[in-house]
Amino acid sequence: MPRTVRDVVFVDGVRTPFGKAGPKGIYHETRADDLVVKAIRELLRRNPGLDPKKVDEVAVAATTQIGDQGLTLGRTAGILAGLPQSVPGYSIDRMCAGALTAVTTTAGSIAFGAYDVVIAGGVEHMGRHPMGEGVDPNPRFVSEKLVDESALFMGMTAENLHDRFPHLTKVRADEYAVRSQEKAAKAYADGTIQQDLVPISVRRTDPAGGETGWGLVTADEPMRPGTTLENLAGLKTPFRVHGRVTAGNAAGLNDGATASIIASEEFARENGLPVKMRLVSYAFAGVEPEVMGYGPIPATEKALAKAGLAISDIGLFEINEAFAVQVLAFLDHYGIADDDERVNRYGGAIAYGHPLAASGVRLMTQLARQFEERPEVRYGLTTMCVGFGMGATVIWENPHFEGDK
């Protein structure tokens, strides 16, 4: 019998504060799966109308699926979070777009009617599991020149993007990075970001041999408020001598987790759950791996075409700031100013951090919060570049839209 495609909605999203990867980072002694568990528990606490027994799936992304990010994380994290054992789960990997893909994959199943409501998110503990740990790239990639060797190193791909678009200068990248820090600081000062953060208890061992202590993490660790162009000008360019990509105009190595509730709109209404965003379309696209930062452009073209929309219809943009040049390439392609107020209004990954597979849902929670503030905006999008030459874009509709009233 013919099926009717159902409307899919973003009910709610939360994340842990993001930390710096490494021995000095806030999550150095915290397990990756525990970060996911805390996020899932907070989602359930915030949404008492959702009966845990009704959750149809738990999809959790991680780029490096070993150790405490392995063992079919969606299933194990669901059990650890207290969901009934009848709730299944699985793991997913699309590198930086892991959580975004967890959302779109389960959303397709909801639209088809296989699920009513799911939990989708991602985690990356880059301190425990650096990007590329344990992988063995096939030597044919380089020996047969299937890709340039730089494709295996994300920072080099950003330098390649600067090469391809020389008018996207280091100064423009640094100026963009300063604005990201400023907008993030303002969002914190306004109390906007904290609304979707899950406080995390962390254990820290005194490296000098003192007593072990406990603390509560309530804010993102990577932020550098007060960053200036002068600060950034003198930073090293680790990926190329006299290069343009620095620690100041790129996201760092980070730890953190995100989780969201995705449901059919009918299920959400029937169970008294909020409807924060309505899914319009999504698309993924491949590009040359050595310029992976270009990926959001063709992905957005595909998503717009599927939705029957133009870029001028998009009133808010959440673009992952893996590298400033990647965002600038996107804006330049569409003729959008570097400082357009529709773009990353709360700041982005350059300030907050980018724990790879977790970041997609951070973009969504920030867009959902802006939809509440901006009922005059009908459409927004979340987009990101993806390692090894891909882009991912999701277009959302604002359920609070008042333009036709």
- Per-residue confidence (pLDDT) for residue 86, from 0 to 100: 98
Q: Which of the following is catalytic: 28, 96, 125, 162? A: 96
Question: So what's the pLDDT on residue 207?
Answer: 64
Rounded Cα–Cα distance for residues 365 and 192 (Å) = 11
Distances (CA, A) of 164 to 216, 249, 327: 44, 18, 14
Contact between 147 and 390 (Cβ < 8 Å): no
Per-residue pLDDT of the chain (405 residues; tens, 9 = 90+): 667 899 999 999 999 999 999 999 999 999 999 999 999 999 999 999 999 999 999 999 999 999 999 999 999 999 999 999 999 999 999 999 999 999 999 999 999 999 999 999 999 999 999 988 989 999 999 899 999 999 989 999 999 999 999 999 999 999 999 999 999 999 999 999 999 999 999 988 766 666 678 999 999 999 999 999 999 999 999 999 999 999 999 999 999 999 999 999 999 999 999 999 999 999 999 999 999 999 999 999 999 999 999 999 999 999 999 999 999 999 999 999 999 999 999 999 999 999 999 999 999 999 999 999 999 999 999 999 999 999 999 999 999 999 754
User: Distance between CA 152 and CA 147 in Å, rounded?
Assistant: 9
Can you give the pLDDT at residue 87?
A: 98
CATH architecture of the region 8-129+173-394 = 3-Layer(aba) Sandwich (3.40)
Check residue 404 and give its pLDDT: 57
Query: What's 7's DSSP letter?
Result: P
What per-residue confidence (pLDDT) applies to 250?
98
As given in the structure block, the two tokens for residue 20 are: 């710096």
Which residue is associated with the tokens 């990639």?
Answer: 141
Residue 211's pLDDT is what?
64
Cα separation, 327 vs 343, in Å, equals 10
Instruction: Determine whether 28 is an active site residue.
Output: no
CB atoms within 10 A of CB 403: 10
Q: Which position among 28, 125, 162, 354 bears the catalytic label?
A: 354
Give pTM, 2 decimals: 0.96
State how far the Cα of 399 lies from the Cα of 377, in Å rounded to an integer: 10
- How far is the C-alpha of 314 from the C-alpha of 380, rounded, in Å? 5
Q: Which sequence spans correspond to the domains of the chain? A: 8-129+173-394
